Amino acid sequence: MLHGRQAEIAAIDELIARAHGGEGGALVLRGEAGAGKTALLDRAASGAGAMRVLEAVGVEAESDLAFAALHQLLRPVTGLLDALPGPQRAAVRGALGLAASGDRFLLGAGVLSLLAEAAAPDGLVCVVDDFQWVDRASADALLFAARRLGTERVALLLTVRGDAPVKGVPSLDVGGLPEEAAAGLLDALAGGTIAAGVRQRLVTLTAGNPLALRETVRRLSPDQLGGREPLPDPLPGGSRLFGERVAALPAPVRRLALLAALEGDLGTVLRASGSAGRPALDELEAAGLAHVTGTSVRFHHPLVRSAVHESATPAARRTAHAELAAATEPQAHDTGAADTAATDREAPDTGAFADRRAWHLAGAALGPDEFVAAELARAAARARDRGGYGAAAVGLARAADLTPAPLTRAGRLKDAAVSAWLGGLPGRAQSLLAEARRHAGGDAALESQIAQLRGRFELNSGDASEAVRILSAGSGAAARSADGLALLADASEAAAYVGDTAALIEIGRRAEAYPEGFLRDAVAGVGAVPAGREDGPGLLRRALARTGELRDAAEFLWASAAASQLGEADLSAELIGRAGRVARVSGMTGQLPVVLEYVATAERIAGRLAESQAVSEEGLELAREAGYVNTVAAHQANLAAVAALRGQEEICRRHAHEALAIALPHRVGLRAGTAAYALGMLDLGLGRFDAAHDRFCALVNAGPGAGHPSVVWRSTPDRIEAAVGAGDLNGARTALEAYERWSAHAATAESRALLARCRALVAPPDGEEAIEGFAEALRSHTNPYEAARTALLLGERLRRAHRPGEARARLRTALETFRQAGAEPWARRAHAELRAAGESAEAPAGSVLDLLTPQELRIAGLVADGLSSKEIAARLFLSPRTVEYHLYKIYPKLGIGTRTELARLVVLRKAP
């Protein structure tokens, strides 16, 4: 019976009931040791009814073993892995030691999908006790899933001691029992023999902690409980709670308890303890301090383990680790434990045993030891290869501590920093890298690698201009090597983020010293074009000719940069789309949040505002999880631009200001410029031409770190429109001259269309030149959204030229496109012009697809592309069941019943 926990029980029951009904969620139970968190989990598991239950316990001895907790939790449902999308299945199998591949984001999505499969048909309750000791790799995957359970029939309950952070999951404090409940518990424990004054004193001194109450009553005599003898002062508690009981154990039992405190596997503990092991284990269980669960020894309470550990001398702990290392052999697992404990392992995971052995060797080490360090480094590499970057970072850092040779130590610290960065620990990565620099000893190759990492870390989370400096200097030290070109490429990317044209030009010049190739030509060309060099476009064209050879997402982003520098925004967007598809389904190693910056921008430029919003919302969440601060600013800036096009003033300003609060101090001019552009587009869409004109002009004058040439170039058609609306024709013509220079080497139809529209805008308003220019642009447009912008301008000119019939046709087309895109200010403007041209009908209701949320619209678009639910789940980091859930919501909204009908609606919406 649980005393005084009605509120906690109600919250847990509500979570489980919602999950059973299809609205999953997670809850953290937070409290001090002994507060009763485990009892609440036990009650949740036993009361789950027909729902399946999965359980795991965080064990401090296993907190450095990658995926130990995940293996424990998911082992009963590994038979469901075949139902997962291929990339997710491979990632989960890798994490569980069943395959050799793994990726952080794919793994989280795979865990989500596997939990969703396990929830069929009646729901699933997952309980994870002592989450503060769950290994980092398992914790990351579980929290990724926990934050995305909204449409799954899954309830996830975690317990945490103290203030251990659990990002993104609501928590419920489990404190001491209320006075009345604590008194009731004492009466039950003492059999009604406790005196009132003693009861009150015990409740006060233990603060109502249930475990403290139980252990205190156990230790007090009947006379003390009855008030006939004084209570001891102080009461036994805190670290002394189990200390006396541990100290009272016979030496062989204390030795076995120490082995169990350092190792979770029962077979290994028994092999290390020798012939005395089984009798000692029986005594430990009889003392009520531990019990056997499956193939593990579990202490009655984590404080028992703490008491065992604290009571042992450092020498005894080192000896125990050495004995466990000797006993940790996979081939001995079944033979050594066959007569002592049942096992449900189909085959030993040799990697897991090697990892355990490495950590025990490290625990036994007295000082630097290369053999032990190498074993630990190999264990860390196995964790990294399975996607356990956090565990890899810990293992490599410990290996570095044990490494005698300074240069080898620096290399391991550098590798630890990489793993920490990929594991979403940017602060830890920075400190590890700083330590690696101190031990690098002038080794040129290692120092160039460290410089590249320092620059990448700075670019993702710090000052982008500092990243340019670090990477440029590092590339000079590694001149003419492969590392040198990679550093130059990263320096060029950083300079592009800042908007530092001078740096781009200099970096491009230095890249020319390297042999011809895709990356060399792209970096050199990106610098040569703004320098006005005649060979710049040729370099970029030569790089783009190699696009068919590209495989990596980063390479496709470089190709998109080449197309963008040529003024071909449509080709750039296409290449960005390819980068996004590659990044989602292959070894992303942390690239995805950054790639999604560009994918979201490309969707917005194409007028697919709902899709752009959904991508940025996903990217924003992933960037926050990964600790990529500057990528957070990028997605905030894009969300501001989407809101601007929709006329959502408050949302636009909020996202823009949040983006600027990061981008300006971090000198990320590309994202600061996008946020400022969003505010200008908000004014332009709402007809505030003077304000829009001022904002666009400010963009032109913003220096590196506050603005960006690419944003200026892309926004010039908007600046020209704002200038014309504000009556500044000279300003519009000046902007056109600059735009003609930027577009001089563009060869795509869309680039020609935009240039024709800009020329038409500055043509005399009362002649045919403007009308013919807009018509020419319309014939060339490949982007439906930009075509609608041109159609609106053409319709306005035709109406003012007293040709209302021709105007109405153009305005109708523009109105429909704007409504489909959700660009409400532009739709209102088109509708007003349509009415002024004699159209009496009300504005059309827009596309039926407007009823869908951004996520639903993305799923609908992928259905139209012919993807299955599994394939869509793999693309969007969802479970297949979540995709089906969304489809079942989509169908009634649209009044359809099949994928074919849905695809037809999407295709019609996309048609120009």
Q: Are 117 and 147 in contact (CB under 8 A)?
A: no
pLDDT at 911: 52
Residue 474 pLDDT greater than 90, yes or no? no
pLDDT tens track for 289-301: 898 887 888 888 7
Which residue type sits at 311? S
pLDDT at 237 over 60: no
Nearest to 384 by CA among 351, 406, 341, 410: 351
Q: Poorest-confidence range of 114-118, 126-130, 174-178?
A: 174-178
Q: Which residue type, as a one-letter code, is found at position 732?
A: A
Q: Alpha-carbon distance 477 to 451, whole Å?
A: 10
Query: Above 90 in pLDDT, residue 397?
Result: yes
- Of the two residues 547 and 589, the one the predictor is more confident about is 547
Burial class (CB in 10 A: 0-12, 13-18, 19+), 264: buried
pLDDT at 334: 43
Query: Please, are residues 519 and 483 in contact by the beta-carbon 8 Å criterion?
Result: no
User: So what's the pLDDT on residue 406?
Assistant: 94
User: How far is the CA of 312 from the CAs of 257, 273, 357, in angstroms?
Assistant: 10, 16, 21
Strand partners, 52: 124
pLDDT more than 90, % of the chain: 51
Mean pLDDT, rounded, for 897-909 = 82
Contact of 182 with 213, CB cutoff 8 Å: yes
pLDDT tops 90 at residue 490: yes
Nearest one of 688, 683, 700, 594 to 644, comparing CA atoms? 683
CA distances from 268 to 282, 328, 805 (A): 16, 6, 87
900: number of Cβ within 10 Å: 10
Contact criterion met (CB below 8 Å) for 322 and 360: yes
Q: What's the average model confidence in pLDDT over 573-597?
A: 79
Q: pLDDT over 70 for what percent of the chain?
A: 93
- For the ranges 411-420, 791-800, 806-815, 897-906, the lowest mean pLDDT is seen at 897-906
Check pLDDT > 60 for residue 338: no
Q: Does residue 809 surpass a pLDDT of 70?
A: yes
Neighbours of 50 (CB within 10 A): 8
Render pLDDT for 44-73 as a digit per residue (tens, 0 to 9). Answer: 999 898 999 999 999 888 888 889 899 999
pLDDT at 573: 87
Largest CA-CA distance found in the chain, in angstroms, rounded: 110
583 vs 561: CA distance, rounded Å: 17
User: Is the model's pLDDT at 214 over the cut of 90?
Assistant: no
The residue with greater pLDDT, 907 or 571, is 571
Higher pLDDT, residue 387 or 603 = 603
What tokens appear for 7 in the block?
């509120």
Q: Stretch 818-835: mean pLDDT, rounded?
A: 89
Cα distances (Å, whole numbers) of residue 170 to 15, 30, 132, 368, 725: 11, 10, 15, 43, 50
pLDDT over threshold 90, residue 509: yes
Cβ-proximal residues to 642 (8 Å cutoff; 6+ apart), any chain? 604, 609, 612, 613, 616
The helix/strand/coil state of 265 is strand
DSSP string, 39-70: HHHHHHHHT-TTSEEEEEE--GGGTTSTTHHH
Give the distance, in angstroms, between the CA of residue 277 and the centroid of all CA atoms in the same chain: 45
Question: Measuring CA to CA, which residue among 415, 809, 854 is closest to residue 619?
Answer: 854
pLDDT in tens, 642-662: 999 999 999 999 999 999 999
CA separation for the pair 824, 751 (Å, rounded): 25
Cβ(841)–Cβ(808) below 8 Å: no
CA angle at residue 165 from 161 to 168, to 5 degrees?
Answer: 125
- What's the pLDDT at 348? 45
Local confidence band at 236 (pLDDT 50, 70, 90 cut-offs) = low
How far apart CA 102 and CA 385 sit, in angstroms, is 6
Write the DSSP assignment of 110-136 as a string of letters.
HHHHHHHHHTTTT-EEEEEE-GGGS-H
Scanning the structure block, which residue is given the tokens 């009650």? 43
Q: pLDDT tens, 616-646?
A: 998 999 898 888 999 999 999 999 999 999 9
Token duo for residue 769 = 């030149």
Would the pLDDT of 238 be above 60? no
In this prediction, residues 309-313 reach a mean pLDDT of: 88
pLDDT at 341: 36
pLDDT at res. 347:
43
Burial of 577: CB neighbours in 10 Å, binned 0-12, 13-18, 19+:
middle
Name the average pLDDT for the chain: 87
Mean pLDDT of 411-437: 90
| 745: helix, strand or coil | coil
- Of 467-476, 503-512, 673-682, minimum mean pLDDT range: 467-476
- The answer to whether 414 touches 453, Cβ cutoff 8 Å, is yes
User: Is the confidence at residue 241, as pLDDT, over 80?
Assistant: no
In single-letter form, the type of residue at position 321 comes to H
| pLDDT band at 756; cut points 50, 70, 90 | very high
Mean pLDDT of 133-147: 92
C-alpha torsion sign, points 763, 767, 769, 770: positive
Q: Which residue has the higher pLDDT, 352 or 63?
A: 63
pLDDT digits (tens, 9 = 90+) for 69-103: 999 999 999 999 999 988 888 888 888 876 655 56
Q: Answer whether residue 482 shows pLDDT above 70.
A: no
pLDDT at position 352 is 76
Cα Rg of the chain (Å, integer): 32
User: In the predicted model, is pLDDT for residue 403 greater than 80?
Assistant: yes
pLDDT of residue 815: 92
pLDDT at 511 over 70: yes
